Structure 1
Amino acid sequence: MDGDKFFEKLTPEVVHILGTALMQLLVDQAELSREALVEIIQVMYQENDTDLAVEVAIDVLRLPGEQV
């Protein structure tokens, strides 16, 4: 499978994981930050075998970003 097509297929799963984590933080009225998203993803998916989409979601959040 071509690398680009692989990541195109993976993208919706990553977005779903990020969106679910964000919604959980909003429901909990918790702090909205990259660190909080990483923590909630780790908690939500700790019982499942961590799949590539979960790892990519966490990696994306840990990438250095522009400081506003």
Structure 2
Amino acid sequence: MIGQQADQRPSTISRRKKKSDSTGIQVQIMAAEARMSVEMQESIQRTYAKAKELRPKNTTRSYDKP
């Protein structure tokens, strides 16, 4: 029985380690998603700004509100 208890302790530690590793990965994924979201918003804003500059002044379509 003593040998079995010794075997159980490392598995508990490794489970904790795996859980913290997955949490770290989730944080990295969330950070990457947030960065991509910001990049997408900036890209859309640049596209609207460029379209507004290129569009003739006498048209009725408004690009002021994306």
Same fold? TM cut 0.5: no
Q: Give the TM-score normalised by structure 2.
A: 0.38
Q: Give the TM-score normalised by structure 1.
A: 0.37
